[in-house]
Amino acid sequence: MAFSDLDPVLVDLAQGYALGELSPAEMEAFERRLIDGDEAARRAFAEVEAATRAGLLMAADAGIASRGAIRPVAVEAAVSRPVPPRSPQPGQAPSAGQRPDVLARIGAVTGWLAAVAAAIAAAIIWISRPTVPVIPTGPDNTLAGLIARGAAELTIVHPDAPKFASGRVAGLDPADFAGIGGTAAWEPGSGLGVAEITGLPVNDAATWQYQAWVIDPAKGSPVPAGVFDVVANADGTTSVSVTFDPTLPIGSAAALAITIEPVGGQLEPNLDQLIAIASLPSGDQGGTP
């Protein structure tokens, strides 16, 4: 479709709509034209929709990255360097503990029932949570503690990953990850996972990080469970204890996984950069209550 075929006024309107610059009344009026099948409006909208949607997604991802939206996972300091809290950005809100949670305010005023508030708050807390992770309290949430409470002991393996091509991450080679091993456990009742992993190469914290995931077959994609860095021990080896803290309630965890991701992590994993996985045996995949 050539630009000249379209009414420039209508294209301008479509562009304003696609950029979110119309007033609510104008926005509703334009949407009504689209819904009612106004062919000229649809053609004008079609000209800009795909590209503006992509641009909005780009801006959204940029906004997420600027907030450091994916929090660090708990990594024990004894064996690795904890990820320091990110420096507050100009205008960044104080932590959730320092300001009233907006949803909580709404809930208090309007009386939203608890289950809905909890479900939605999970998303809010994820995006507004301070960088220090909140780990479920318990008598002993170490790997040994989970196993003592009956959680399955899982073997961490480095999967054959032919897609993890040399050079995909600068300076790394698939052979660097061949020595990964360790033990993990997942406690269905609490939704808590812990993995003690050896042999992870030290990451370049300026350019990439490890990201933990919980694989839930009922969800469309793996659930992010935090990012972490790895530093070498005095003898040059590495060993980290990672607490998986999924951002959403897990329905039926099937595996814990580690991928390599850009700094700050991603909302969806680079599965072709999957470098460690611990699969749960069937029957131990229960979700959080």
Partner 1 sequence: MTRGLPPKPVVSPGAEPDDVSLMARVAAGDAVAFALLHARYAPRVLGLIVSVLRDASESEDVLQQVMLEVWQRHAARYQPALGPVDGWLLRLARSRAIDRVRSLERGRLTPEEARGVIASRSSTAELGVGAAGQIEPRGGRASTTGLDAAMALESLPDDERVPIRLAFLGGCSREQIAAHVGVPVGTVKTRIRRGLGRLREVITGEANA
Q: Between residue 54 and residue 93, which ones bind partner 1 under the rule CB under 8 A? A: 54-67, 69, 89-93
Nearer to partner 1, 67 or 149 (CB): 67
Measured from the CB of residue 288, what is the shortest distance to partner 1 in angstroms?
11
Nearer to partner 1, 64 or 231 (CB): 64
From 33-41, 140-148, 153-161, 275-283, span contacting partner 1 (CB under 8 A) = 33-41
Where would I find the H helices in 19-133? 24-35, 39-67, 102-110, 114-128
Site size with partner 1, rule: CB under 8 A: 89
Measured from the CB of residue 156, what is the shortest distance to partner 1 in angstroms?
23
Nearer to partner 1, 24 or 139 (CB): 24
Residue 202 in contact with partner 1, rule: CB under 8 A: no
Angstrom distance (rounded) from CA 272 to CA 101: 37
Measured from the CB of residue 276, what is the shortest distance to partner 1 in angstroms?
18
Nearer to partner 1, 19 or 134 (CB): 19
Bridge-based pairing state of the strands 74-75 and 239-244 = antiparallel
Residue 29 in contact with partner 1, rule: CB under 8 A: no
Nearer to partner 1, 40 or 120 (CB): 120
Q: Tell me the one-letter amino acid at 272.
A: D
Tokens 């607490």 map to which residue? 243
From 34-42, 139-147, 236-244, 276-284, span contacting partner 1 (CB under 8 A) = 34-42
Residue 208 in contact with partner 1, rule: CB under 8 A: yes
Angstrom distance (rounded) from CA 13 to CA 20: 10
Nearer to partner 1, 54 or 148 (CB): 54
Q: Tell me the one-letter amino acid at 246.
A: P
Binder among 145, 159, 181, 287 for partner 1 (CB under 8 A): 287
Instruction: Looking at residues 169 to 188 of the shown chain, list those that interact with partner 1 (rule: CB under 8 A).
Output: 169-170
Distance of CA 31 to the CA centre of its chain: 32
Closest C-alpha to 161, from 175, 172, 148: 175
The answer to whether 259 and 269 have CB atoms below 8 angstroms apart is yes
Angstrom distance (rounded) from CA 127 to CA 96: 10
What is the end-to-end Cα distance of the chain in Å, rounded? 54
Residue 154 in contact with partner 1, rule: CB under 8 A: no
Nearer to partner 1, 157 or 163 (CB): 163
Angstrom distance (rounded) from CA 20 to CA 23: 8
Instruction: Looking at residues 84 to 143 of the shown chain, list those that interact with partner 1 (rule: CB under 8 A).
Output: 89-93, 99, 102-103, 106, 110-116, 119-120, 122-124, 126-128
Q: Tell me the one-letter amino acid at 210.
A: Y
Residue 166 in contact with partner 1, rule: CB under 8 A: no
Nearer to partner 1, 241 or 247 (CB): 247
Q: Tell me the one-letter amino acid at 108.
A: A
Residue 264 in contact with partner 1, rule: CB under 8 A: yes
Backbone angles phi, psi at 55, to 5 degrees: -65, -40
Q: Residue 286: how many CB atoms within 10 A of its CB?
A: 16
